[in-house]
Amino acid sequence: MRVVLVGGGGREAALAWRIARSESLSELYVTHANPGWPDRAQQRMVGSPSEIVALALEVGAELVIVGPEGPLAAGLGDQLGHVGVPCFGPTRGAARLESSKAFAKEIMAAARVPTAAALVVDCSDPAQVEAAKGRCAQGSVVIKADGLAAGKGVFVCPSPVEAAAALQQVSSGRFGDAAERLVLEDLMEGPEVSVFALCDGERVVALPSAQDHKRLGDGNKGPNTGGMGAYVPCPLVGQVDAAALVKKIHLPVIQEMSRRGTPFRGVLYAGLMITPAGPRVLEFNVRFGDPECQPLMRLWDEDILPWLHGAAVGRLPEGTPRFAEGASCCVVLASAGYPLTSDKGRQIPEPEVGQDVVLFHSGTIRDERGVLRTNGGRVLGLTAVAPSISAARARCYEELPGHLFYGAQYRTDIAATAS
């Protein structure tokens, strides 16, 4: 199978690593630069949806796999569909489950999926803005930019003072069009877990659960980030529980989307909070999480392409994908200044790693002399497999010191509560 993989970050590096091991792969083309691509990957520098479609037609792609959410929200899936190329990733209309938090709330209400009560605010309407200020004055609120904000448009505000400051920040223009509308949710309490399902428009298949670590600092302190580490599986949700949650949450959403004429094909990622009243949806994403994808791909234990192609064409294989026993953990190394800025150009050491550890590149580049350097916010994802979560976690932190670069930031407590 000839495959085009869209994207160039850590998630895509993990997908490429797994795809390159697929028995059914004949050729793999990647659309962005990444020094960590597997040897089988052929790099083509294309960015816009039209350029990606042209590449797919040029190489005779039988499947395009879209890693990041941006191209999906821009309609890449629609454009590929128009020329008959299967796309693992939803159409623009279906991608609104991620690109509009207000739309996701509407769908969840229609599908009777449990989530927090929310107020949707049009920032161009002074009356609605005043209503938002009134809600913030009560505290215990989560303020979200409606549109895509690279995982940084969410503010958890226990107190009225924090809520007022967050409302001012999210309304400052920092998030552009993404904050033309806001969603103000009641603050829920409990641990978070990520539950993924492959979807072919009608059927859903649960994958192992994961737990991400969004905050920059240990103990979930500091600003929100795109994710500082993750592990699979999460003991809060075993595989039997994951299948039950997918039936309760993902399937009604897929059915509602189909009823509206926008069938969802790809992977639907539900970010859940396990509250005292039961699991509640925090958000939906329409692609694999980053960094959850890294440990998930390390444990995937069979040819991945029949599953991704089956979702894309509306015919998932029977049964469920096979995953290896044990656990996998990913610890992210980020550059100085992240998440507000990124310190680029720092040399990255390149020691050998053990066979149980894979180093996925997120924001790296090689200079004209071949030296590996930092080139983004999240730089590397050390990802280990082991018989247990605690052992996988230990292997990550054993390997980590050899890869430290100037100003590197990382958490020391990834998977600590599950070990």
pLDDT of residue 328: 98
Residue 77's closest CA among 48, 117, 49?
49
pTM, to two decimals: 0.95
pLDDT of residue 59: 98
Neighbour tally for 330: CB within 10 Å: 36
Residue 382's closest CA among 358, 407, 413?
358
- CA 255, CA 3: separation in Å to the nearest integer? 29
What tens digit of pLDDT does each residue of 307-354 get? Answer: 999 999 999 999 999 999 999 999 999 999 999 999 999 999 999 998
- CA 191, CA 272: separation in Å to the nearest integer? 8
Q: Which residues of 83-109 are buried (b: 16+ CB within 10 A; e: fewer)?
A: eebbbbbbbbbbbbbbbbbbbbbebbe
Q: What is the largest CA-CA distance in the chain?
A: 60
| Residue written as token pair 């029949």 | 306
Pure H helices in 246-325: 251-259, 293-299, 305-313
Q: Which amino acid is at 360?
A: F
Crossing angle of helices 126-136 and 160-170, in 10° steps, is 150
Crossing angle of helices 251-259 and 101-111, in 10° steps, is 100
* Domain 117-186 falls under CATH 3.40.50.720: no
pLDDT of residue 81: 97
Residue 87's closest CA among 19, 6, 25?
6
pLDDT of residue 251: 98
Pure H helices in 20-74: 49-59, 69-73
Neighbour tally for 295: CB within 10 Å: 32
Residue 271's closest CA among 253, 289, 256, 255?
289
Contact assessment for residue 16 and residue 37, using Cβ atoms and an 8 Å cutoff:
yes
Pure H helices in 275-330: 293-299, 305-313
- Residues sharing a CB contact under 8 Å with residue 326, sequence separation 6 or more, in sequence order: 299, 385, 386, 387, 388, 392
Residue 57's closest CA among 88, 38, 79?
79
The CATH architecture annotation of domain 327-418 reads: Alpha-Beta Complex (3.90)
Could you check whether the bond before residue 233 is cis, i.e. omega within 30 degrees of 0? yes
Q: DSSP string of 361-406?
A: ESSEEE-TT--EEE-SSEEEEEEEEESSHHHHHHHHHHHGGGG--T
Question: Which numeric CATH code is attached to 2-92?
Answer: 3.40.50.20
- CA 287, CA 89: separation in Å to the nearest integer? 7
pLDDT of residue 333: 98
Tokens linked to 345 = 């150009």
Neighbour tally for 255: CB within 10 Å: 17
Phi then psi dihedrals of residue 327, to 5 deg: -145, 165
What tens digit of pLDDT does each residue of 63-110 get? Answer: 999 999 999 999 999 999 999 999 999 999 999 999 999 999 999 999
Tokens linked to 28 = 């793999």
Contact assessment for residue 310 and residue 200, using Cβ atoms and an 8 Å cutoff:
yes
pLDDT of residue 47: 87
Tokens linked to 201 = 């428009």
Burial class (CB in 10 A: 0-12, 13-18, 19+), 113: buried
Question: Which numeric CATH code is attached to 190-313?
Answer: 3.30.470.20
pLDDT of residue 177: 87
Regions in the chain scoring below 70 on pLDDT: 151
pLDDT of residue 419: 75
Residue 73's closest CA among 144, 150, 12?
150
Q: Sketch the domain layout of the chain as residue ranges.
A: 2-92, 117-186, 190-313, 327-418
